[in-house]
Amino acid sequence: MAKYRLYWYPGTCARVPFVALEEIGDPFDVVVEDRMAGGSEYLKVNPKGSVPALVIGDKILTENLAIQLYLARQHPAVGLLPTGSPELEAAVLETLSWFSSNLHPLVRQLRFPRWYSDDPSTYASLRAKALPQLHLAFSILERRLSDRDWLFGDWSLADVHLLWLWFRATGSGFAGSDFPACAAHAGRCEARPSVAAVLEREEDELSRLREAGKVPSFVPDFQAGRSPILD
């Protein structure tokens, strides 16, 4: 019997715990939650309606940051998140919190302004307001990655989370050509076997959903899989 069950949808930030479970290597179950459909039974699992959700025995854990920390502490030998000093662990938590509370809403606003307004005439303005804030954030990350391959020295889930933000931003119209270090980081991360396996699964599942007519027409390109190739 699998120890974990992950509720996931291709292309979402649930990619991060999916990669974590691949890294851990123990058997686990993945449930594709069709979050584009209304009236989902998933609300019985997570009343907030978002993915990821991780089922652990008779317990359910939600929120990406919480799931990352839980898996990292349950499997310390895997090295999912950096440890070693209170200062380092606080810096990791600071970065992951920033990703979840600041950058994630910005890329969502850029990609799906319809979730912020019922008036289509406001969509262009909403997207335009997200762009300078994303430019500032990736400028910070570009400087951070100018002298290192990974955010905290060694690869960690923080890098997977950054990959997802980069993938979602550049796949939604953000011009990433000014950030070569971030682009190179994405390429390195996508080449890691655990990440590559999850990206392939994303593409396969999205294709299946499209063939079943379950992906709405308003969903843009680059919903799942690898980041766009920049000019």
Domain ranges for the chain, please list them: 4-79, 86-193
Question: Which amino acid appears at position 172 of this protein?
Answer: S
Residue 218, pLDDT > 60, answer yes
Q: Please check whether the domain covering 86-193 is classified as CATH 3.40.1520.20.
A: no
Query: Are the beta carbons of 222 and 172 closer than 8 angstroms?
Result: yes
pLDDT-derived band of residue 173, with 50, 70 and 90 as boundaries? Answer: very high
Examine the pLDDT at 190 and tell me if it is beyond 70.
Answer: yes
- The whole model's pTM is what? 0.96
Q: Once rounded to an integer, what is the mean pLDDT over residues 206-212? A: 93
Under the banding of pLDDT at 50, 70 and 90, the label for residue 224 is: very high
Q: Tell me, what's the pLDDT at 49?
A: 85
User: Distance between alpha carbon 64 and the CA centroid of its chain, in Å?
Assistant: 9
CB 80 within 8 A of CB 28: no
CATH topology of domain 4-79: Glutaredoxin (3.40.30)
Look up residue 178 and give its two tokens. Answer: 């000014």
Residue 74 binned pLDDT confidence (cut-offs 50, 70, 90): very high
pLDDT, average across residues 224-231? 88
Q: What is the pLDDT of residues 1-34, one digit of tens each?
A: 689 999 999 999 999 999 999 999 999 999 998 7
Q: Which residues lie below 8 Å from residue 101, measured CB to CB, with a gap of 6+?
A: none
Helix (H) or strand (E) holding 104: helix 104-111
216's tokens? 């709405």
Higher pLDDT, 218 or 190: 190
pLDDT(194) > 60: yes
Q: Which helix (H) or strand (E) holds 191?
A: helix 180-191
Q: Over the stretch 117-160, which tens digit does the pLDDT of each residue have?
A: 999 999 999 999 999 999 999 999 999 999 999 999 999 999 99
Q: What confidence tens digit (pLDDT) does each residue in 33-69 have? A: 876 665 577 888 888 888 999 999 999 999 999 999 9
Tracing tokens 């990609």 back to the chain, one arrives at 111
Specify the DSSP class assigned to residue 154: B
Q: Supply the pLDDT for residue 89.
A: 96
Give tens-digit pLDDT for 75-126. Answer: 999 999 999 999 999 999 999 999 999 999 999 999 999 999 999 999 999 9
**Rounded Cα gap, residues 203 and 196, in angstroms:** 11
**Contact (CB, 8 A) for 91 and 152:** yes
In degrees, rounded to 5, the angle at the alpha carbon of residue 82 between the alpha carbons of residues 76 and 83 is 70
